[in-house]
Structure 1
């Protein structure tokens, strides 16, 4: 069964072609659905471009709609949107960032995730993603990490809750390799990694994760993410508030050196 997608241009184009062929053949959505094993709502999803058709759908629908290979040819160009629609704008700005500061509360930031760790994060998504969709999103996430090595360099500041490091996401072996990866990244001159210890009774980060990004024009943007949505904003007052909050969180967290000692300790315990 297909799962709901954000809808890429190729999916919308396939859906429009499929709908036109169905109408020309005088076939109802119910009849097509019955033939390919889809409900009417799933056929509607395919035709609107929000559902990725299965290979079986394409192979059965093409002759049923007298498409003469049109759907089969169109399906060869199908691809999902690589990022959620609400994240696309941020990713486009992230590519050219001069500085990126982020505070993580649940999982590590995508820029510093190992492939195994990222795969475990995506595999835990609910509602569950299709295997090929996980693969596509994983590849897109790993490609974003070119920001770490590109020139001109991007100054990266990562502050993470200790609880994020303690969670054996993907298993202890994946957890260990992820921690070791953080230690390697911390050796880079333009990367700062700090940990907010669990033992601290209080700190300024209780409002949740946040990201600040500096553009090539030295303009600062804020980004915050919640359930199924992310928001990027440039209002000076809102961005200033995030700057104050991040600065306080940074001052309250362990220093980069002490954070490294803690991470090394965690690695040694695995």
Structure 2
């Protein structure tokens, strides 16, 4: 049995709409391998991955890494047929909910976020994201943690999109002070916030704890606006936390976010606030 690397991908979630594509890639891999007269053992040794993992891919229960498809395509002389699924498998590696969220964020021209318990996912460093995911209850498997981190980091592509979207973040002061993962993790996270805050299309504001009024007391607020004039939003404290898209409900969320933003520190003072929090670590 060839040892190789076992993690060439993650198991597909049963019932996920990406499952038929993963199964098709598995069948294609098997056809290409058999047509080339190559055994699973030979393929495993050639590409450096475990035999059990390759069997799972061929059965359609394991999502292959894009790099695996590259190596297998070259070795099996598949003429690009396996490599053609690179992008599909890259997206498939992230949980369905994350794929759907990333698709919405990828279309939005304006994104509004208010976070009250921790730094928003789009602003998190890998270390900070790991700390959050590892403290969840019930405990997640290491595979689920790694998958969650990778998915969260992939969503950051929204900052580099063209045309550039407008992003507005309001963070509670306490999110700058809770040392999730330890002081060094928090320090690196605050340094990252300062870097992101320099981007011209990003507005970053802090809501001080001593603010006597805060419309965000009932929970997070998120609103994504699209180029066609439509939008989608949600809030912990409205509509039972469900996403809404009708103008009347969205108006409520936009009004709430507008009040939160008006009562938070302006961007310049917020940057000073973050620098002072960093200096105390």
Same fold at TM > 0.5? yes
Structure 1 partner of 2:129: 118
Does the CA-based 8 Å contact 1:196-1:253 persist in structure 2?
yes
Q: Deviations over 1:19-69 (max 9, x none)?
A: xxxxxxxxxxxxxxxxxxxxxxxxxxxxxxxxxxxxxxx97xxxxxxxxx9
Aligned residues: 214
Q: Which runs of 5+ in 2 are unaligned?
A: 1-11, 24-50, 65-90
User: Which of 157, 170, 191 lines up with 1:159 in the alignment?
Assistant: 170
Listed as ranges, the matches of 1:99-248 within 5 Å are 99-224=110-235, 231-248=242-259
CA contact (8 A) 1:82 1:137 kept: no
Structure 1 spans left out of the alignment, 5+ residues: 15-57, 60-68
The CA distance in 1 between the partners of 2:257 and 2:217, in whole Å, is: 11
SS, match of residue 217 in structure 2 = coil
Tell me which residue corresponds to 2:59: 74
Give the drift of 1:84: 5.3
Displacement of 1:154 after TM fit?
1.1
Confirm or deny: 8 A CA contact 2:22 2:62 kept in the other structure.
Answer: no
* CA apart distance, 1:235: 1.2
In 2, Cα distance between the equivalents of 1:149 and 1:161? 25
Q: Is the 8 A contact 1:176 1:267 kept in 2?
A: yes
Q: Secondary structure at the match of 2:117?
A: coil
Query: Helix, strand or coil: the match of 1:157?
Result: strand
Deviation, structure 1 residue 212 = 0.7
Aligned Cα RMSD in Å?
3.0
